[in-house]
Structure 1
Amino acid sequence: MILLGLTGSIGMGKSTVAAMFADAGVPVFDADATVHRLQGPGGALVTAIEARFPRTTGPAGVDRAALGAAVLNDDAALRALEAIVHPAVRAEREAFLARHHDSPLVVFDIPLLFETGGDRDMDFVVVVSASAPVQRERVLARPGMTPARFEAIYSRQLPDTEKRVRADFVIPTDVSLDETRAAVMRVIACVQAGQRR
């Protein structure tokens, strides 16, 4: 089985590219979706998060805005949250691998792949990238996003230029969807042949 890490900074189009891999028949582990489920109504992490960060949960699970406000500019709080979340996500990842043990290729869609050292566990790494103006426009179009919040998130992520250098493959998303999809198919062909860019 080939483990392909898929990553990219906020607003780069990673979810779109992940969907293209899935459409091509490649199993995709979506770290963000897993976290949302674990923090959703009745989620396995809700009680632990409420205990550590009071008044950040409710009937709908974790209030992401309240939790974000509690950890965004507090490194110690962020590390405490990661200590709750990361082990649970690792367990979900192991279950995903067990379910797809006979697949020749699987994709791990992990936003902070380099930042957490997860790239060391991958056979290949794909970075999804777009120009800075396109990235900013996409992020600021999101509901509830502000320039200050964007900058706070952006500052915690490895710069796109560094991610591109460290990647085995770069998939552009500031081009047509057909061009992006063609790049995805080229990556699949290359990794299955054991080739890097």
Structure 2
Amino acid sequence: MPAPHTSTQDERSEAARKLIIDAAIKLLAEEGYQRTTFTRIQDCAGVSRGLITYHFGSKAKLIEAVIASTRDTFSAEALEPLKEAATGLDAILGMITSYFDRLTVNPKPAAVMLVLAVSADADAAEVKAAVSQRYAEMRQELYDWIERGRADGSVASSIEPVSYAALLEGVIRGVALQYLVDPGTFDIRGARDAAVRMVTAALAGSG
């Protein structure tokens, strides 16, 4: 009979980091930036305050790790499958559909980004820089797909990638904001379908 697996120090350390990050995500989404303190995270995660400090050092560094975690999860679950999309336009529409569908399953990551975008301390330069970087990454993803679509003919050649990438990000985050504010009555699936039709009409063509 095989010997039972014994967790290594690295495994235990990674498990503790995940507990802390998951607790921070939950608190940021549900209680906001100011109330997401090490004390609240300690209570939520069931770990010592010293362990939080050991792994992250400061709240800003923990928030950076939260943003990285939400980005990595989104990339693995939503963006990786889009590498198989037939065209650039298909990838854009797939991203929009996936983003809105994921909101109904787990709205916390989107809520966290909204909270951090509007509520972080003015002097938390690291947090603001991390949020700005994540927004820039989404625009870059959209930019790359527009360029791909222009090359494969699924996006009109007259479409200007920088401006349209910014516009598409605004549509995605704006719809997400409305859903997060009023998930009980906001028709996210209707908005998703309308966004797909609107983006298709705006981008598609051979111009």
Please tell me the TM-score bracket, short chain as reference: 0.3 to 0.5
Structure with a larger share of its residues in strand: 1
Q: Given the two structures, how large is their TM-score scaled by the length of structure 2?
A: 0.32
RCO comparison, higher one (Cα < 8 Å, 6+): 1
Structure with a larger share of its residues in helix: 2
Larger Rg: 2
Q: Given the two structures, how large is their TM-score scaled by the length of structure 1?
A: 0.33
